[in-house]
Amino acid sequence: MPTNFNLHRLGYQMTAFANETTIYKHLDETMPLLAHSRTGDGQHLTVFNLGQPPVIVSVPQIGQGRSQLVHLREPDCTTPLALNQEAPGSNHVEEAKTRYPASLLNQVASQFGVQLTGDNAKRLLNGQKTDVVITGDGSTGKLYILNTPDAGLQLVLQDVRRELTLKDSYLGHVFTDKDKQNLTKYGDMGRAVDLIDKQSGQKFTGFIGVDKDTKTLTVLRADQIRPKIERMSHLKGIPLNGLQKQRLMEGKAIRLDNMTSKAGTSFSAYVRVSAAGRNLRFDHIPTGQSQKVVSAQSGQKAPTSAAEEGKPAKPKRAVKPKP
- Give tens-digit pLDDT for 96-114: 477 888 889 999 999 999 9
- Of 51-60, 212-221, 279-288, the one with minimum mean pLDDT is 51-60
Same domain membership, residue 84 and residue 5? yes
Q: How far is CA 71 from CA 21, 46, 48, 83, 158, in A?
A: 21, 12, 12, 21, 37
Q: Is residue 319 part of a domain?
A: no
Q: Is residue 120 part of a domain?
A: yes
At 253, the amino acid letter reads: A
- Of 30-34, 70-74, 154-158, 286-290, the one with minimum mean pLDDT is 70-74
Cβ partners under 8 Å of residue 65, min gap 6: 200, 201, 202
26 against 282, higher pLDDT: 282
Same domain membership, residue 241 and residue 216? no
Q: What are phi and psi of 154, to 5 degrees?
A: -130, 140
282 against 68, higher pLDDT: 282
- How long, in residues, is the chain? 323
Q: Is residue 322 part of a domain?
A: no
Q: Is residue 313 part of a domain?
A: no
Note down the domain range covering 213. 169-222
Cβ partners under 8 Å of residue 226, min gap 6: 249
User: What's residue 151's pLDDT?
Assistant: 73
Q: Is residue 242 part of a domain?
A: yes
85 against 276, higher pLDDT: 276
Q: Is residue 191 part of a domain?
A: yes
Band the pLDDT of 76: cuts 50, 70, 90: very low
pLDDT above 80 (res 215): yes
Band the pLDDT of 70: cuts 50, 70, 90: very low
Strand, coil or helix: 20: coil
Contact 253, 188 (CB under 8 A): no
Looking at the 3D structure of the chain, how many domains does it have? 4
Contact 83, 95 (CB under 8 A): yes
Q: Is residue 76 part of a domain?
A: yes
At residue 177's C-alpha, the angle toward residues 172 and 183, to 5°, is 75
Strand, coil or helix: 261: coil
Same domain membership, residue 215 and residue 229? no
> Which of 198, 222, 246 is a domain's end point?
222
> Which of 190, 206, 222 is a domain's end point?
222
Same domain membership, residue 302 and residue 232? yes
> Which of 59, 77, 96 is a domain's end point?
96
pTM of this structure = 0.57
Q: Is residue 269 part of a domain?
A: yes
